[in-house]
Homo-oligomer: A and B are copies of this chain.
Amino acid sequence: METVGTAVDALPRPGLRERKKQRTRDALVRAALELIATRGYEGTTVDDITAAVEVSQRTFFRYFASKEDVAFFVARLAESHVVDAVRGRPPGEAPLEVLRRAVLDSWDTINEAVEQLVPLDLHMRVYRVIESTPALLAAHLRRATELEEELARIIAEREGLDVDADPRPRILVAAFGGVIRVAERRWSAGDDLSTAAMRDLMTTCLDHVGPALAENWRTG
């Protein structure tokens, strides 16, 4: 029996059953991501994944709603960190600045949390597959808009506005999200998959929003 290593003393002690579930889920995630990163998404069947972990296909679908779902297990982690970072911004800060700083600042904690689960390198290889696989890219974009909706509500609450009455929260977040995706795409397409490179790209892209919306690009 391989133990997990880190001494986790949660208040309600996990219990054997709960720990077994955790191990199965993690094993499925790791096996799935490893296979997807090497063979590609369509080249990996659910049976491949379950065979690697030695569980039945049915069990896989009890842990994950779909084959897509397991590919975004790590991404879900990252999203929750971004949401927390936005919530943690000081009141009075300008909305756009809230988003900008939250995204840039959360990268380090995100990477830390990801490494608890899978090697960072694996996560990045999977991300490339997501960007280059139509079905996964589509799912990624849908997830992104759901995140945007959540962020818009948070921003609206900060500003004391009604999201459905005032369009600015959703518009700001949508524009911001679009820019972030441009950065993500450049990142996944480029050579440098480091965190620093990602931060630089996002900074650059965000700095160009103003000029891009300006009347005349020549004066830039």
- Chain A interface residues (CB < 8 Å from chain B): 94-97, 134, 137-139, 141-142, 145, 159, 161, 167-179, 181-182, 186, 204-205, 208-217, 220
Contact = CB atoms under 8 A, between A and B. Distances in A.
6 contacts: A137-B145, A138-B138, A141-B145, A174-B181, A175-B209, A210-B213
A168 B212 contact: yes
The 9 closest A-B pairs by CB, nearest first: A174-B178, A178-B178, A138-B138, A141-B141, A138-B142, A175-B175, A172-B212, A168-B212, A171-B212
A148 to B, nearest CB: 8
Nearest to A172: B212
Given A94-B215, A138-B142, A171-B205, 16 more contacts: A94-B214, A96-B215, A138-B141, A161-B217, A167-B182, A168-B208, A168-B220, A169-B212, A170-B182, A173-B178, A174-B175, A174-B178, A174-B182, A175-B209, A175-B213, A213-B213
Nearest to A97: B215
A177 B176 CA distance: 11
A65 to B, nearest CB: 10
Contacts of A179: 171, 174-175
A94 B215 CA distance: 5
A145 B139 CA distance: 13
Nearest to A134: B142
B137 A212 contact: no
Contacts of A94: 214-216
Contacts of A208: 167-168, 171
Contacts of A171: 178-179, 182, 205, 208-209, 212
Contacts of A205: 167, 171
Contacts of A169: 212
B217 A95 contact: yes
Given A138-B138, A139-B138, A217-B95, A211 B168 contact: yes
